[in-house]
Amino acid sequence: MRWELFSYQLNPMSLVRVKDGSKRIREPRALSADEFRQMAEHIPEPFRTMCIVAMCMGLRVSEVLGLKWCDVDWEGMRMGIRQSYVYGITGAVKTPASQRWMPLDRSLAEKLRQHQLRSFSPVNTESWVFANPATGKPYWPGRIQENWLVPAAERVGLGRIGWHTFRHSHSSLLHALGVDLKVQQELLRHADIRTTMNIYTHAVPAALREANSKVVRLVLLPAQVA
């Protein structure tokens, strides 16, 4: 794959089989917009905004933590997914397809503005969006999950959830809204659905923005959704 001797559209790990080791214990939970709002009421800031970004954008938690203010284009209403942050280490995102500019709905942009104003220290463009004020570095997601996400979800009867619940929920909301399959792939930044779709089908940027806005408004502004 490195030397392009054959196609690298396929993740080689998908070919690995471990006896009795690849059976999913349970299906990942997908939250409805209403369930997410109920849970979010019991999560304090800035962790609530982290959850909102993950839910509305479908980002992995490593990508949420990897956001810097320079990745937010306020004029162009878009967000750059450039790097990940995993337990103290800054690295590349999961796949080349994951690194790209994503549409930023105005309602979500306003949430980020409010979070920026709440920051404890002056913000510069190279600052982490979700920095622990005690260290200046991104938070540890495991602690947030155990201290806030899990208790909040259990408090409203949703059972145990994790950070990936938000990405899975975002995907489910796109599907429920009838968003075109190729647009879903672009918004979730999956490497491929089918090779032919990657090569011959191209999502229109306007379609990406419209589809993302539908999810954001469903999550943040339920009264405005028909």
Among the ranges given (66-80, 144-158, 188-202), the one the predictor scored with the smallest mean pLDDT: 188-202
User: Regarding predicted confidence, which is higher, 62 or 123?
Assistant: 62
Mean pLDDT score, 93-111: 83
Q: Are 69 and 127 in contact (CB under 8 A)?
A: yes
pLDDT of 15 reads 55
Q: Could you tell me which CATH number the domain at 28-221 has?
A: 1.10.443.10
Tell me the average pLDDT of the chain. Answer: 80
pTM over 0.95: no
pLDDT category, 195, cuts 50, 70, 90?
very low
Containing 53, the helix (H) or strand (E) segment is helix 47-57
